[in-house]
Amino acid sequence: MTAGAVLVTGAGSGIGLAIVQTLLAAGHPVWAGARKAAHLEHLQSLGALPLPLDVRDVQQVQQAADTVAASGRSLHAVVHNAGVGGIGLLPGWPDEDMQALFDTNVFGPHRLTRALLPLLLPSRGRVVCIGSQGGSITSPFMGPYTMSKHALEAYASCLRQELAPHGVAVSIVQPGAVATDIGDNGRAGNVARLQATQAPFDTASAAALAGLLNPTPPDPAQPESGSNRRHAPPSKVAAVVMQALFGPDPKLRHLVGTTWEGDRVVRELTQRLLEAVQSPSHGWDEATFLEHCRQAWRQRA
C-alpha cells in the first residue's frame, strides 16, 4: 500500500478545487470527483486522480468506491464537498426541487460514506463534510438550503459518535459566504422559482428576483452586514479542511468566515440555548445558566 489518499467530491471548482490544490501542494494523493469532463481533465492535469462522480447516482458512487479499492492505495479520508444551493420562499419550492437539493447535500454524503467504509475503517481514517453556517441559522428565502445543512449537521454529529469506537474521526466545516460558482450554477432554478411564486408571496419574491438579476456589489468601505457581505476565498476554507484532515485532535465543528458572520451564528446559538433553559419545563435562572457555562468552558479548556 502507498500513502493514504483523500477523496474530494465536487472537486471541479470553488471550494473543492481549492481543497484538491492544497492537498496536492502538501504532497497528498488525491482522488478528485467531478461530473464534468472538462473539470476531470483539468484535475488530472494538476496531478489528481480524476474520478467521474455524481453523488446522486448510486451506481456511480459504487463504481467510484470500487475504483479506489482496486487502486492499491489506502484511503485516509473523504471530503464531502459536492453541494447545491437555491433560494426562494418555502411556498414557492416544488417538491422535486427540494428533493433534488437534499439528494445532493444530504443523501450524497451518506451513500458515499457507506460505500467507502470498507476502506476507511482499516485505515482509521477521517470523514469531513463541508456544511455551512446555514447549518446553525436560517433566514427567509434560504429555507430548503439551510434545512439540508441542518440535516448534514445531524448526520456528521451522529456519524462521529458511531464511528469513533472504530477509530474514524468525523468533522464538519461550516463556511460563511465564499466566492464560488454555487449561485451561478443554481441561477436558472432560482429565477424560475421566484417567477412562479404565487400570491401573497409574489411581491417579496419579485423584490428578491430584482436583487438577483441586478446584484449590488459589496462596499469594502462599509461595515459588513446582511446586505453587505464579505466573500472569503475558497483557499480559506481549504486551510481549515486540512486541520480537520490531519490535525491530531479534529473537532466536530470548524466555523469559517468573517467575525461578523461568526458573531451572527454565536448569537443565534446563544438565543436557542436560552430558549431551552428558560422553557417552563426547565426553568433555569441566570445563576444556574452562567455556572453551567463556566463548567462547560473549563471542560473545553
| Residues assigned a catalytic role | 145
Contact present, 44 and 114 (Cβ < 8 Å): no
The helix/strand/coil state of 255 is strand
d(CA 147, CA 92): 15
Determine phi and psi for 266, rounding to 5 degrees. Answer: -60, -40
Give the Cα-Cα-Cα angle 27, 32, 33 (nearest 5 degrees).
165
Give the Cα-Cα-Cα angle 178, 141, 256 (nearest 5 degrees).
25
The helix/strand/coil state of 88 is coil
According to DSSP, the residues that pair with 31 across neighbouring strands are: 7, 49
Longest dimension (CA), the chain: 62
Alpha helices in 71-107 (DSSP H): 95-102
Neighbours of 300 (CB within 10 A): 6
- Burial class from Cβ neighbours inside 10 Å (0-12, 13-18, 19+) for residue 90 reads middle
Contact present, 89 and 72 (Cβ < 8 Å): no
Grid coordinates standing for 159? 456519524
Alpha helices in 47-166 (DSSP H): 58-70, 95-102, 108-123, 143-163
Give the Cα-Cα-Cα angle 231, 234, 239 (nearest 5 degrees).
120
